[in-house]
């Protein structure tokens, strides 16, 4: 081991900052330099590997540490682990392992209720989707038209009977023209109105029946709907004719004071009124049913959309209930070891109060603070070699830089920046809290020319060194590359292997 290496080793063992190394090397650089052979006043340059390192001290920490508490308050029901011991007697507990639980009966019931509500909403949706299928809607609409056709057929059967019966009533002696004339002008007016509406009903029946006979159940939906509407209007004419005849009967019965003579006619007309009203209701209902089923095609999509929203809402309610229930439990957020438990079964826990601490036990990092003068050279991913005081300098571990704090931290009056390094491999020998010496390789360039920064001087904005050629000293312009923290400088061009560079240039 050279004298320089001995000095560097001593510095590393004492964990001094690299700034001290710079001072030492400035002194030693005038005497000897590892990239060349030293004479009394020159060094002979040659291509070699150029590596820059930053040496710092640090401490091993768990990659993850957390203090945990219940999000909800309540009585502590169970604690499933103890400090340093996981489930099943193993020290390590896995991520997701239940650590502690509050009494959660109400929250559990809320989850069950939400599950039932969700299932009910899904069933309602399925029913709507089944009923609202095009196949079912087509079948329902076809049946509505078929029912309407039946209502029309039934109406014509009764209307034919009613028109004959109504004619018989008007032809009775006690309702004849002579009887009306004998009774007076009012009776004659009732008689004329009844006859007029009778003939109107008879004509409407003949026209409607003629149109109906041209149709069957396989006729177009438009034709069936049209005959339903036409039959409904004809039935209304019958209703008016019956009402007018009833007015004539009632007037003559009162005027002649012979109620018994008109009792049969009144009964007949009352029966016709009930029949007509029934047909009016059925025909109107048939028409409305057709309209409702036709509207169902457009409204079904809206109903299904609303049912889908209901299902989504119930799913959200269930998730909210589950999230609320999870707040009654503490689970391990990562693989690790419980390091503290400040809770007992039966105690009342307050929301968000830390009760249990945990750290990862299989992944460790190194936490260190880098002086401001060196932080610019360190970047994410830089490789590092590590020694731990517990195992001595001969045992090496390896890591890489994974984080650099953007803000400074003042330590002993000095601006520093916290960095973290992740070990490359899991190693059971590594324990949280161990003291570490860290050597970070900030760059490494193979096969380059390197000289001490002290041999370089400026002239007219350019960089020069003095080179001894025989007994003569010449100046050579050089183009420089990167500079190490130890004051070494890469020469990109201007020097060749074997050049003897003057260590103490005499510059005018």
Residues 86 and 142 in one domain: no
Residues 303 and 333 in one domain: no
- Of 247, 276, 310, which closes a domain? 310
In this prediction, residues 256-269 reach a mean pLDDT of 93
Q: Are 466 and 505 in contact (CB under 8 A)?
A: yes
Residues 160 and 217 in one domain: yes
Q: Which structure tokens are listed for 192?
A: 């004329």
**What is the number of H-type helices and E-type strands within the chain?**
9, 22
Q: Which structure tokens are listed for 301?
A: 């999509």
Q: Are 285 and 154 in contact (CB under 8 A)?
A: no
pLDDT at site 85: 66
pLDDT at site 483: 85
Checking if the pLDDT of 89 tops 80, the result is no
pTM over 0.85: no
Q: How far is CA 302 from CA 45, 126, 132, 308, 455, in A?
A: 86, 14, 11, 10, 86
| pLDDT classification of 15: cutoffs 50, 70, 90 | very low
Residue 237: CATH number of its domain: 1.20.140
Residues 237 and 270 in one domain: yes
Nearest to 435 by CA among 169, 58, 118: 58
Distance CA 8, CA 5 (A): 5
Distance CA 127, CA 305 (A): 13
Domain assignment of residue 377, yes or no: no
Domain assignment of residue 203, yes or no: yes
Checking if the pLDDT of 215 tops 80, the result is yes
The 3-class secondary structure across 33-78, one letter per residue, is: CCCCEECCCEEECCEEEEEEEEEEEEEEEECCEEEECCCCCEEEEE
| pLDDT classification of 361: cutoffs 50, 70, 90 | confident
Distance CA 415, CA 87 (A): 45
pLDDT at site 12: 43
Query: For residue 506, what are the contacts with CB-CB under 8 A and spacing of at least 6?
Result: 466, 473
| pLDDT classification of 23: cutoffs 50, 70, 90 | very low
DSSP three-state, residue 342: coil
Residues 216 and 283 in one domain: yes
Residues 15 and 89 in one domain: no
Q: Which structure tokens are listed for 237?
A: 């004419």
Domain assignment of residue 455, yes or no: yes
39-43, 178-182, 412-416: least confidently modelled range: 39-43
Q: List strands edge to edge, sheet with 337-341.
A: 65-68, 356-359, 337-341
Residues 175 and 234 in one domain: yes
Residues 282 and 348 in one domain: no
Distance CA 463, CA 53 (A): 25
| pLDDT classification of 305: cutoffs 50, 70, 90 | confident
DSSP three-state, residue 66: strand
Task: Please tell me which of 108-122, 420-434, 487-501 the model is most confident about, judged by mean pLDDT.
Answer: 108-122
Domain assignment of residue 262, yes or no: yes
Nearest to 448 by CA among 2, 45, 43: 45
Residues 157 and 290 in one domain: yes
Share of the chain above pLDDT 90, in %: 62
Phi/psi of residue 465, nearest 5 degrees: -135, 160
410: part of which helix (H) or strand (E)? Answer: strand 409-411
Domain assignment of residue 5, yes or no: yes
Residue 488: CATH number of its domain: 2.40.420.20
| pLDDT classification of 187: cutoffs 50, 70, 90 | very high
Residues 69 and 162 in one domain: no
- Of 338, 357, 376, which closes a domain? 357
| pLDDT classification of 86: cutoffs 50, 70, 90 | low
Residues 182 and 296 in one domain: yes
Residue 343: CATH number of its domain: 2.40.50.100
| pLDDT classification of 24: cutoffs 50, 70, 90 | very low
Question: What's the number of domains the chain is made of?
Answer: 4
What's the domain range around 19?
Answer: 1-36
Long-range contacts formed by 214-220: CB under 8 A, 24+ apart: 215/149, 217/146, 217/149
| pLDDT classification of 369: cutoffs 50, 70, 90 | very high
Phi/psi of residue 34, nearest 5 degrees: -70, -20
Can you say whether the dihedral through the CA atoms of 131, 135, 136, 138 is positive or negative? positive
* More confident: 359 or 11: 359
Residues 15 and 76 in one domain: no
Residue with tokens 């190693």: 427
Q: Are 262 and 255 in contact (CB under 8 A)?
A: no
Q: What is the pLDDT of residues 390-406, one digit of tens each?
A: 999 999 999 999 999 99
Domain assignment of residue 426, yes or no: no
Distance CA 48, CA 490 (A): 10
Domain assignment of residue 381, yes or no: no
Q: Are 374 and 101 in contact (CB under 8 A)?
A: no
Count of other CB atoms within 10 angstroms of residue 1 = 7
Q: How far is CA 469 from CA 8, 22, 47, 459, 477, in A?
A: 33, 30, 19, 21, 15
Count of other CB atoms within 10 angstroms of residue 148 = 24
Q: Are 54 and 374 in contact (CB under 8 A)?
A: yes
Strands 356-359, 65-68: parallel, antiparallel or unpaired by DSSP? Answer: antiparallel
Nearest to 479 by CA among 467, 468, 494: 494
Residue with tokens 């003629």: 210
Distance CA 196, CA 415 (A): 115
Domain assignment of residue 151, yes or no: yes
């Amino acid at each position: 081991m050279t004298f320089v290496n001995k000095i560097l080793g001593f510095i590393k063992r004492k964990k001094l900052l690299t700034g001290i190394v710079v001072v030492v090397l400035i002194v030693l650089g005038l005497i000897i330099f590892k990239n060349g052979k030293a004479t009394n006043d020159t060094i002979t340059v040659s291509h070699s590997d150029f590596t820059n390192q930053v040496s710092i001290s640090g401490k091993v920490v768990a990659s993850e540490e957390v203090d945990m508490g219940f999000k909800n308050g309540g009585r502590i029901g169970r604690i499933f682990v103890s400090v340093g011991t996981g489930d099943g007697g193993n020290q390590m507990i896995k991520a997701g392992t239940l650590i502690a639980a509050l009494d959660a009966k109400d929250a559990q019931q809320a989850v069950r209720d939400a599950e039932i509500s969700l299932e009910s909403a899904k069933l309602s949706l399925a029913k709507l989707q089944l009923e609202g299928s095009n196949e079912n809607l087509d079948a329902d609409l076809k049946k509505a038209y078929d029912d309407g056709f039946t209502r029309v057929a039934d109406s014509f059967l009764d209307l034919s009977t009613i028109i004959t019966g109504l004619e018989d009533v008007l032809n009775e002696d006690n309702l004849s023209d002579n009887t009306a004339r004998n009774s007076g002008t009012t009776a004659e007016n009732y008689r004329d109105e009844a006859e007029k509406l009778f003939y109107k009903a008879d004509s409407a029946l003949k026209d409607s029946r003629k149109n109906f006979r041209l149709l069957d159940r396989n006729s177009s939906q438009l034709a069936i709907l049209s005959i339903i509407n036409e039959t409904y209007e004809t039935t209304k004419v019958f209703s008016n004719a019956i009402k007018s005849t009833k007015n004539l009967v009632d007037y003559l019965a009162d005027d002649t004071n012979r109620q018994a003579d008109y009792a049969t006619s009144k009964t007949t007309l009352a029966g016709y009124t009930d029949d007509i009203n029934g047909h009016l209701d059925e025909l109107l209902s048939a028409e409305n049913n057709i309209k409702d089923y036709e509207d169902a095609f457009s409204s079904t999509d809206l109903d299904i959309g609303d049912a889908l929203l209901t299902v989504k809402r119930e799913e959200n309610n269930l998730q909210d209930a589950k999230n609320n229930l999870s707040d009654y439990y503490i689970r391990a957020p990562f693989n690790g070891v419980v390091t503290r438990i400040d809770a007992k079964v039966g105690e009342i826990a307050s929301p968000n109060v830390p009760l249990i601490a945990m750290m990862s036990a299989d992944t460790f990092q190194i936490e260190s603070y880098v002086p401001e003068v060196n932080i610019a050279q360190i970047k994410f991913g830089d490789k590092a070699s590590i020694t731990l005081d517990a195992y001595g300098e001969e045992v090496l571990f390896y890591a890489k830089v994974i984080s650099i704090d953007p803000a400074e931290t003042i330590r002993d009056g000095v601006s520093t920046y916290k960095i973290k390094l992740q070990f490359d491999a899991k190693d059971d020998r590594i324990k949280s809290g161990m003291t570490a010496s860290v050597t970070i390789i900030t760059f490494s360039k193979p096969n380059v020319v390197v000289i001490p920064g002290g041999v370089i001087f400026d002239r007219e904005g350019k960089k020069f060194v003095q080179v001894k050629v025989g007994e003569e000293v010449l100046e050579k312009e050089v183009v420089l590359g990167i500079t190490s923290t130890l004051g070494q400088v890469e020469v990109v061009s201007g020097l060749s292997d074997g050049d003897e560079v003057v260590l103490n240039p005499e510059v005018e």
